[in-house]
Amino acid sequence: MISILDEDFSQLNEFLHRLQPTQLLILVDENTHEYCLPRLLGNLETEIPFEIIEIEAGEEMKTLETAAQLWEILTEFETDRKALMINLGGGVLTDLGGFIASTYKRGIPFINIPTTLLGMCDASIGGKTGIDHQFLKNIIGTFANPEQIFVFPKFLETLPFEELRSGFAEMLKHGLIIDEKHWNDLISIKNLTPQSVFPFIETSMKIKQKVVEQDFTEQNIRKTLNFGHTIGHALESLFLLQGKPIMHGEAVALGMICETRISMLHGLISEETSNTIISHLRQFFPDIDTKQFSVEEILSLMRNDKKNSHGTINFSLLTGIGNSAYNCSVDAEHINKSLHYYQNLP
Ligand SMILES: NC(=O)c1ccc[n+]([C@@H]2O[C@H](COP(=O)([O-])OP(=O)(O)OC[C@H]3O[C@@H](n4cnc5c(N)ncnc54)[C@H](O)[C@@H]3O)[C@@H](O)[C@H]2O)c1
Ligand SMILES: O=C(O)C(=O)C[C@@H](O)[C@H](O)[C@H](O)COP(=O)(O)O
Ligand SMILES: [Zn+2]
């Protein structure tokens, strides 16, 4: 269940009162500790003992090393199965925290309180938890739903613009794959701010929730939520490997441009539609220099994409604005062409 709330923490307090966990484990990163935790603690009305666990911020923390440290901390706290983990942060935090909670003692309950736009519209919903390994994105993980998701859009007030834009990429993706009106609403935004995006958060959350309800373990339609991610994840991994991470949403925007072009190369959309989509995406997202990576390097990461089967690289592609298909096998030539196209955009 998802609740979108203003400054009203009563639903969260009532939830804690009902659940009566033995202990609260509040997972934060350095930024959500500073910007979000005071608001949460200032509004919590509970006698339940709590511990605050802080990690450094960033994708580099979504690793087995951090996971091992967190499992160790829980054993030091003698955390039992009736404790509740509260993930207060963006997608890195909720992916990692959900993974820890779903594996520690074979699973303890957790809730997500997303504090980034990306977290609110995407990462906190749908139960994909995980960590990166050998620079492969989310390669180890579980499907595990939080008990509840509490969304306080006011947390966006302290979010840097680039992070807001990163979350906006996933919202645009929701429009492109499923809902033309949502796409049109989003591209009409002239000045991206928490206020301008606020009216559209709920639609994005609902789109994601509806897809996930139909296909929790990603056997079919959920794959459409991965549009932009086959190429996006490969490049995100390569930048991470270089020690120069790019934001997930930036990588997805780049991936969506290439994969829109592939949709056209496959005859699924017209060149005109492809150009329209790409020019809107480029209006929001600056181009990223990918010339430093060889196609072979990119392809080798894509060969580990979770949507693949029987040795083929499977993409989710667009069949129109607001329509998509999954399990589209794409060969190296088309992937290469799309990357070349991106690298040579005027
Ligand atoms: N599980 C899923 O379904 C899913 C969906 C999309 C993305 N993801 C994952 O989510 C991650 C990206 O998430 P993200 O973009 O939220 O990154 P993030 O969690 O790293 O947050 C981005 C930055 O914003 C800071 N921050 C968070 N809230 C803040 C606030 N209110 N004010 C100021 N600073 C704040 C963080 O400390 C961090 O530095 C990636 O690892 C991606 O793979 C998962
Ligand atoms: O929830 C999903 O399903 C998605 O694909 C949403 C994506 O935005 C998200 O980045 C997800 O973590 C990607 O999953 P992965 O299975 O490709 O690692
Ligand atoms: Zn994503």
Can you give the CATH number for the domain in which 106 is found? 3.40.50.1970
What is the structure's pLDDT at 7? 79
Asked whether residue 323 falls in the same domain as residue 178, the answer is: yes
Cα-to-centroid distance, 120 and ligand 2 (Å)? 14
Asked whether residue 227 falls in the same domain as residue 78, the answer is: no
Residue of 115, 116, 171 best suited for mutating to test ligand 1, as the one with most atoms within 8 Å of CB: 116
Please work out whether the CB of residue 122 comes within 6 Å of at least one atom of ligand 2: yes
Say how far apart CA 210 and CA 126 lie, in whole Å. 9
Asked whether residue 311 falls in the same domain as residue 198, the answer is: yes
Asked whether residue 144 falls in the same domain as residue 203, the answer is: no
Both tokens of residue 322? 């607001």
Asked whether residue 192 falls in the same domain as residue 339, the answer is: yes
What is the structure's pLDDT at 188? 98
Say how far apart CA 286 and CA 263 lie, in whole Å. 22
pLDDT at residue 228 greater than cutoff 90 = yes
What is the value of ipTM here, to two decimals? Answer: 0.99
Residue of 229, 252, 307 best suited for mutating to test ligand 2, as the one with most atoms within 8 Å of CB: 229
What is the structure's pLDDT at 1? 80
Asked whether residue 153 falls in the same domain as residue 173, the answer is: no
Asked whether residue 43 falls in the same domain as residue 101, the answer is: yes
State the CB neighbour count (10 A cutoff) for residue 239: 20
Grade residue 5 by pLDDT with cuts at 50, 70 and 90. Answer: confident
**For residue 92, what are the CA distances in angstroms to 18, 141, 331?**
28, 13, 31
Say how far apart CA 223 and CA 78 lie, in whole Å. 38
Which parts of the chain are beta strand (E)?
2-4, 24-29, 50-55, 84-89, 110-114, 128-133, 136-143, 148-151, 314-320, 323-329
Asked whether residue 205 falls in the same domain as residue 307, the answer is: yes
Q: Which domain does 103 fall in, by range?
A: 2-158
| Cβ–Cβ under 8 Å, residues 314 and 327 | yes
pLDDT at residue 160 greater than cutoff 90 = yes
Asked whether residue 319 falls in the same domain as residue 267, the answer is: yes
User: Region 238-259: what's the mean pLDDT?
Assistant: 98
Asked whether residue 52 falls in the same domain as residue 100, the answer is: yes
Both tokens of residue 258? 């290439």
Residue of 118, 151, 197, 237 best suited for mutating to test ligand 1, as the one with most atoms within 8 Å of CB: 118
Can you give the CATH number for the domain in which 330 is found? 1.20.1090.10
Asked whether residue 183 falls in the same domain as residue 267, the answer is: yes
Helix (H, G, I), strand (E, B) or coil at 77: coil
Q: How many CA atoms lie within 13 A of 270 on its CB side?
A: 3
Final residue in a domain of this structure, among 101, 128, 158: 158
Final residue in a domain of this structure, among 128, 158, 188: 158
Final residue in a domain of this structure, among 109, 127, 158: 158
| Total domains present in the chain | 2
Rg of the chain over Cα atoms, rounded to whole angstroms, equals 20
Asked whether residue 232 falls in the same domain as residue 114, the answer is: no
Q: Ligand 2, atom 18: nearest CA belongs to which residue?
A: 138
What is the structure's pLDDT at 3? 80
Say how far apart CA 164 and CA 100 lie, in whole Å. 26
Percent helix, strand, coil in the chain, to 5, is 55, 15, 30
Q: Across all residues in the chain, what is the average pLDDT? A: 97
Q: Which residues line ligand 1 (CB under 6 A)?
A: 29, 31-32, 35-36, 57-59, 62, 89-93, 95, 115-116, 118-119, 122-123, 126, 128, 137-138, 155, 158-159, 163, 166, 170, 248
The verdict on pTM exceeding 0.90 is yes
Q: Which ligand is nearest to the CA of 95?
A: 1
